[in-house]
Structure 1
Amino acid sequence: MEAEVLAAERTITGKDVSLEGLVRLTTVDTLAARIVTPALAALQARQPGIIVELVPDTRSLSLSKREADIALRMSRFEGHEVAARRVGALAMGLYASPDWAERLEHGPVRLVTVLDDHLPEAKWLREVFPEGTIGFRSNSREVQLSATRSGAGVAALARYRADMEPGLVRLRTDVPDLTRDIWLGVHVDMRGMPRVRAVMDAVVEALRSNSAILDPGS
């Protein structure tokens, strides 16, 4: 019954042709503050009737249950009800504070990582430092960056954020660097709604215009 109610609600909402109303977007905090937010603020300057809820969250909020209208994720979407496409790439690097960078060859390594050990960056960090011990965990990439800069250990961080931090040193290893794809998804019943389309277009353009920063190469 709940699924039928949600489906009917999406169908009715999806027929709304106005450029006014609420659009809920979820993404990781790595992209939310510095890439997505400026794009949405610029959109609202042009379309003040659009109200945006931006939810920085590592959880995969459900599009079918209307927990979000649009999702920007670092992994592929599953399910036939979601229209998804790859919209960019995010280069990762290994970083430490200058003090930790000097100590790496002389003792055990402490790791700053995510709560989910199955994520690609967690696996990559463990591949490079198989003997490392976890000293700090957080699903917030911004918290990880702050912890690493403060001397908590070594972390896999987005290069576009970490390269600009004066308190971090990028580590070079023999293991190939990690690049994660960025995927945009929307429920098929919602993708034609003008305000949803406007938000998606703004986000895609922001990723396109920042592509060289997000994935700068070696």
Structure 2
Amino acid sequence: MDWDKLRIFHAVADAGSLTHAGERLNLSQSAVSRQIRALEESLNSTLFHRHARGLILTEQGELLFDATRAMSKRLEAASARIRDSEEEVFGELKVTTTTGFGTLWLAPRLTKLYEKYPDLKIDLMLEERVLDLPMREADVAIRMKEPSQADLIRKRLMTVQMQLYASRDYLERNGMPEDIEDMSDHRLVCQNPNAPQVGAGASLVQQLMANNPHSMLMVNNYFGVLQGVLHDLGIGALPDYLTEDFPHLVRVLPEIESADVPVFLAYPEELRHSKRISAFRDFVQDEIISHRKQLRQLGKI
């Protein structure tokens, strides 16, 4: 159905006159009349009864006017919210990141974002698969490597490293390894090196596996690895951003760590001026600054 004809029909039905509708739309009466006839022909229905005093909607016309009136109200509401969005942050924001980072670092900090923007609706999608931002599978992503997709705005947030940690209870029972060869006496808890993850993490795990750990638990994300370590199952390869939130973990073999892993925030070029994106980006950057300050206070950087 032709949207322009519907717009003209709505104006005529609202005004009750071809002339008055034409004045509102800056069209001649004959042009308005032609569009109404064309719409009636396309619907094979009469929409108006013509009278000397003006036009009266037929039953079919009333049905169509109810629909265009509802459409008009929704468009007006959308326009108002678009105008408001220049100053306010609200609506849905689809965020994707890895299960580990989203569960262990991002989600616990979202309280501060909601306190500032209570009308924001975040759809947090945690998975190792890289979602297609240009195809709008998500609005914004935080990833452990620079995104390769085209037409994205990228911002490097921080650098993390994979390191080895264990619980105090585990180490009291099994002893502290002195060098990497001692891993043969311990259980290694890690991501499967064949699972989707950053290359630096996979390389570290392969290095540890080369020393024939006594036993292994492999999980497909770092949240699962952390749970294994917290429950005294073994020595885990975990990202160093956990040291602030889990200070009771003990670092093991501090000379062994992965290469630097860059953390990037990315979003489509078309969302450059989105207030939701700007609010989320600024929130993440502020939290990273706060995170680094606390690590400095703990003497860990």
Name the TM-score class by shorter chain: 0.7 to 0.9
More helix by share: 2
> What is the CA–CA distance in structure 2 between the aligned matches of 1:132 and 1:33, rounded to whole Å?
30
Structure 2: stretches of 5+ with no match in the other structure: 1-81
> What is the CA–CA distance in structure 1 between the aligned matches of 2:239 and 2:99, rounded to whole Å?
11
The counterpart of 1:84, out of the listed 135, 154, 164, is 154
Q: Within 5 A, what are the aligned runs for 1:1-218?
A: 16=82, 18=85, 19-33=89-103, 35-96=105-166, 97-98=170-171, 99-102=173-176, 105=182, 107-117=184-194, 119=198, 120-132=200-212, 135-162=216-243, 164=246, 166=248, 168-172=249-253, 174-175=255-256, 177-213=258-294, 217=300
1:105-147 deviation per Cα after TM superposition (whole angstroms, max 9, x unaligned): 3845432222343632121132244133572222321210111
Secondary structure at the counterpart of residue 196 of structure 1: helix
Q: Which one-letter code corresponds to 1:153 in the other structure?
A: G
TM-score, length basis structure 2: 0.57
> What is the CA–CA distance in structure 2 between the aligned matches of 1:202 and 1:61, rounded to whole Å?
22
Is residue 116–residue 122 contact of structure 1 (8 Å, CA) maintained in 2? Answer: yes
Structure 1 residues 79 and 50, CA gap change in structure 2 (3 angstroms): same
Q: Which one-letter code corresponds to 2:223 in the other structure?
A: E
Query: Paired residues, what number?
Result: 202
**Alpha-carbon shift at residue 204 of structure 1 (Å):** 1.7
Instruction: Give the number of the structure whose alpha-carbon radius of gyration is greater.
Output: 2
> What is the CA–CA distance in structure 2 between the aligned matches of 1:214 and 1:188, rounded to whole Å?
33
Secondary structure at the counterpart of residue 61 of structure 1: coil
Q: Among the aligned pairs, what percent are the same residue? A: 22
**Alpha-carbon shift at residue 62 of structure 1 (Å):** 1.7
Structure 1: stretches of 5+ with no match in the other structure: 1-15
TM-score, length basis structure 1: 0.76
1:145-165 deviation per Cα after TM superposition (whole angstroms, max 9, x unaligned): 111233433321123425735
